[in-house]
Amino acid sequence: PDNVGPQFPAPGQPEGSVLQYPIRCYSAAAAPRRTSIMHIYEGILAGTAHGREILLVGAALTAAGTAVGPRQIDYARAPRVAVLSAAFFVASLIHVPLGPASEPLVLCGLLGLVLGWAAFPAVLVALTLQAVFFSFGGPTTLGLNTLNMALPAVVCYYLFRGAVRSDNEAVVFAA
């Protein structure tokens, strides 16, 4: 390999022998970096039969959620969905370092509280643009990635919609 450093004789071995495990030299560019676990990478699950089943189930559930979502959008709410989809697109590109990994600002709770089921098409559009422009995810994992981010938004919608509609300001702030 190209990143193998110099090989030295093992202690107690003749001059011509080398270490069995060569010393690896890494440049700053090849050093391990913080990783994000937001997207399931393209090709990770497609290699196994169970992975393909998971991808198909994710795509089917995303299709169902995306079929329900547009029914919740009328002409007055369409700009709100577009703005929150754009906010999700931009905010998910910002990564906050957290230990050995980094986490993106996903905004699932906010999307769910404001959009409800309309979070599915909003997230789908944002993730499609991220896959096209930045190669985050890909066409085979788009359904599962959308499900992983839009389903918690819908769960937040059902958990906190009563609190948000409440007249008590403290409850609305806590939600």
The tens digit of pLDDT for each residue in 63-85 reads 999 999 888 888 888 889 999 99
Cα torsion at 83, 85, 89, 94 (round to 10°)? 70
Please report which confidence band the pLDDT of residue 161 belongs to, taking 50, 70 and 90 as the band edges.
Answer: confident
Tokens of 141: 């994992």
Strand-strand pairing, 95-98 and 35-36: unpaired
pLDDT tens, position by position, 77-125: 888 999 999 998 888 888 778 777 767 778 888 888 888 899 999 999 9
Instruction: Note the pTM of the prediction, 2 decimals.
Output: 0.70
